Chains A and B, each alone.
Chain A
Amino acid sequence: MDTKTLLAESKARFNHNAAKDYLAEKYQNKLVVAEQNGLWKADAETISLLNSLTKSKVVLIDTFSNPVKVDRKELLKTLRTVYNEVMEEWYEEWQELEGKR
């Protein structure tokens, strides 16, 4: 029995919330970046902080709660790239999901 038939016969309903949670789990993980001897999350908070600072070398607390001195511009560039790539993928899969409503 193929999956479509199985779903039809069992009268299964698409669980939109569970699918949304799955996407969050999948893509939040992809935002994790190891660089310059620290572990970072390419999220809005970290990118905003890096953007707002002015010095070329700054100390940030990484996700392991360790202070790490980093090259601000280099880290910002990496995190921005990862953020943009992951968000595009997330959005694309989210759009597919929306189509299943």
Chain B
Amino acid sequence: MTRGAILFAFNSEKFNYYNMAEQTAKRINHFLDLPVTLVTDQKSFKETSYSWDNVIKVVPDKDNFRDWGQWINKGRYQAFELTPYDETILLDVDYMVNSNKLLKTFETYNDFCCHNKTTFLMHPNAPQEALSSYSYDTLWATVVTFKKTKRSQQIFESLEMVQKNFEHYANIHSFISVSYRNDYALTLALRIANGHTILPGDFIPWNLVHVGKDTTVIKNNQDELNTEYTVLFDNWKRGKIRKEYMTIKDMDFHLINKDCIEGVFGE
């Protein structure tokens, strides 16, 4: 039974996702001891001293935009076909691996799992995100662990269907479809594949830790595999900002706030 991780990285005008993927891959190699396959395009790929387990070049669908510019995040459903491993961790490249915690997903799942609950650093009481007031709580495509089973295949095929009909599902579930989001597509795809039910075993039994708005993360030293960070938070009170901070170590987190990328990846 082979195990590995797969990353998708397509550079945009604003962010060098390839560089982020390379740093994340080194962390996966070190903390999880897993090989890493990269899915990228010809334009983003560059030869460096880092040795990928596999590099798969595809032609990405670039038709997606966010407030900060082009966001090439479509095609994640291809992970099932492209992964060379029997068991795979599909990770966003802005997920900071600082521990071996993700290895536990291989022990706790049946054949597919993702996060269904989140915590925001410095925002302990932040509500869970929902597709809309009338729909489901969001599942997160940031970390997905899956086996090559028939059911996983159905989930990824559903993901493809939702991506290709995103506007239709946005109308049904009352969310804005201007930007395609894998999180929303996964939320719907998993329910579709499960016959519109929830299977508790499909969820990772701990929270996905986000770095959200008004929060900045800075690495405490320049080591490539640094695991200690200072978290700075702008706490707005009565129209004034009070700066607060704490330090964290050996804890995985996901950078929702893209302004943090420089402080963490040095981009």
Binding site for B on A (CB under 8 A): 3, 6-7, 10-15, 17-19, 21-22, 25-26, 28-30, 32, 34, 39, 63-65, 93, 100
The answer to whether B218 and A15 touch across the interface, beta carbons within 8 angstroms, is no
B200 sits at the interface (CB 8 A): yes
**Given A22-B121, A39-B108, A10–B207 Cβ distance below 8 Å?**
no
Q: Nearest chain B CB to A2's CB is how many angstroms away?
A: 9
For residue A100, which residues in chain B have a CB less than 8 angstroms away from its CB? 247
The answer to whether A14 and B245 touch across the interface, beta carbons within 8 angstroms, is yes
Q: How far is the CA of A100 from the CA of B242 in the complex (A)?
A: 19
The answer to whether A32 and B248 touch across the interface, beta carbons within 8 angstroms, is no
Count, chain B residues at interface, CB 8 A: 31
Q: How far is the CA of A65 from the CA of B199 in the complex (A)?
A: 11
Q: How many A-B residue pairs have CB under 8 A?
A: 71
**Given A11-B243, A32-B206, A25–B119 Cβ distance below 8 Å?**
yes
List 25 A-B residue pairs with CB atoms under 8 Å apart, sorted by A's residue number.
A3-B218, A3-B230, A12-B232, A12-B243, A13-B242, A14-B244, A14-B245, A15-B122, A15-B246, A18-B231, A19-B246, A19-B247, A21-B124, A22-B246, A25-B207, A25-B209, A26-B248, A26-B250, A28-B206, A29-B101, A29-B207, A32-B205, A32-B206, A64-B200, A93-B249
Contact residue among B107, B119, B244 (Cβ-Cβ distance under 8 Å from A12): B244
Binding site for A on B (CB under 8 A): 101, 104, 107-108, 119, 121-122, 124, 200-201, 205-207, 209, 218, 220, 230-233, 235, 242-251
Q: How far is the CA of A32 from the CA of B207 in the complex (A)?
A: 12
The answer to whether B232 and A10 touch across the interface, beta carbons within 8 angstroms, is yes
Q: How far is the CA of A21 from the CA of B243 in the complex (A)?
A: 18
For residue B218, which residues in chain A have a CB less than 8 angstroms away from its CB? 3, 6
Q: Nearest chain B CB to A31's CB is how many angstroms away?
A: 10
Residue of B nearest to A63 (CB): B205
Q: How far is the CA of A93 from the CA of B242 in the complex (A)?
A: 26
**Given A21-B124, A63-B205, A3–B220 Cβ distance below 8 Å?**
yes
Q: How far is the CA of A55 from the CA of B219 in the complex (A)?
A: 51
Determine which residue in A14, A26, A30, A100 has the highest number of CB atoms from chain B within 10 A of its CB, and name it.
A26
Q: Nearest chain A CB to B11's CB is how many angstroms away?
A: 28
**Given A29-B206, A32-B205, A18–B243 Cβ distance below 8 Å?**
no
